[in-house]
Amino acid sequence: MWVPLRELKKISRAMPLPMADGVVIGRKGLLLTKRSIPPGKGSWVLPGGRIEAGETAEQAVVREVLEETGLRTKITGLVGVYSKPHRDPRWPTISICFLLRPVGGKFRENDEVSEIRFFKKPPKLFFGQGEMVRDALRLVRKRQRR
Active site residues: 115
> With DSSP H G I counted as helix, E B as strand and the rest as coil, what are the percentages for the chain, rounded to 5?
25, 40, 35
Cα–Cα dist 128/109, whole Å: 23
Cα–Cα dist 49/136, whole Å: 18
Q: Please, what is the end-to-end C-alpha distance for the chain in angstroms?
A: 42
**DSSP H/E element including 96:** strand 93-105
